[in-house]
Amino acid sequence: MMQYQPTDDGGRIAQADTKFGRYRIIWDAENNITEMMHEPRHPQQSSGMSHIIHGAAGLAKAKLGIDRASDGVIEHRTQICKTCPKSIFKDAQLRKCSACGCGLIDKKLVVASEKCPLGKWDAVTDKPSA
Ligand code: SF4
């Protein structure tokens, strides 16, 4: 399970100890990722870990509500994904993108700095005002 805590400089840190190894992601006060660390439990677990770390960072952002896109951007992205042949539905809900392998596409859609792997929608900077 990912654990979150604030840092002294106004940022946040997320840490997890899993069967794949230990992860640590640090954001600064402006929500920029300043460090992503993965220590695999076994050497063969290092391949493909950057993909997992990226996914974990995106999930953490969605969970914490940081780097959140505006409602309009989320709706626009959702409509594109819903009509995309790479999207996978479960129980009539958009669940997965087979292009990037993201199994939590609904979380990816809300993160402003995320982008579609096929270029159908981009990262944005028009985040909602606080
Ligand atoms: S992220 Fe891109 S490729 Fe994946 S389902 Fe959405 S539009 Fe399709």
Pick from 77, 87, 95 the residue to mutate for probing ligand 1's pocket: most ligand atoms within 8 Å of its CB.
Answer: 87
Coil, strand or helix at 102? coil
User: Which amino acid type is present at position 41?
Assistant: R
Residue 72 CB-half CA count within 13 A:
5
Residue 60 lies in domain: 3-64
pLDDT digits (tens, 9 = 90+) for 23-39: 788 888 887 777 777 77
Q: Minimal CA–CA distance to 27: which of 60, 49, 53, 69? A: 60
What is the band of 53 on the pLDDT scale with cuts at 50, 70, 90? low
Q: CA-CA distance, 84 to 89, in Å (whole number)?
A: 11
64, 81, 99 - which closes a domain: 64
Task: Please tell me the distance between residue 107's alpha carbon and the centre of ligand 1 in angstroms.
Answer: 13
Please compute the mean of the pLDDT values over residues 34-46 and round it to a whole number. Answer: 70
pLDDT digits (tens, 9 = 90+) for 80-93: 999 999 998 888 88
User: Which amino acid type is present at position 59?
Assistant: L
> Is there a single domain that holds both residue 55 and residue 97?
no
> Is there a single domain that holds both residue 86 and residue 119?
yes
pLDDT at 62 over 70: yes
The backbone torsions φ and ψ at residue 72, rounded to the nearest 5 degrees and listed phi first, read -65, -40
> Is there a single domain that holds both residue 76 and residue 96?
yes
Residue ID of nearest Cα to ligand 1 atom 1? 116
Most confidently predicted of 2-11, 32-41, 57-66, 100-109: 2-11
Q: Minimal CA–CA distance to 29: which of 6, 52, 4? A: 6
- Residue 89 has a pLDDT of 87
Pick from 76, 81, 89 the residue to mutate for probing ligand 1's pocket: most ligand atoms within 8 Å of its CB.
Answer: 81
* Domains identified in the chain, total number: 2
- Residue 49 has a pLDDT of 59
Task: Please tell me the distance between residue 93's alpha carbon and the centre of ligand 1 in angstroms.
Answer: 14
Q: Minimal CA–CA distance to 88: which of 73, 100, 72, 76? A: 100
Residues lining ligand 1, judged by CB closer than 6 Å? 80-81, 84, 86-87, 97, 99, 116-118, 120
Task: Please tell me the distance between residue 63's alpha carbon and the centre of ligand 1 in angstroms.
Answer: 21
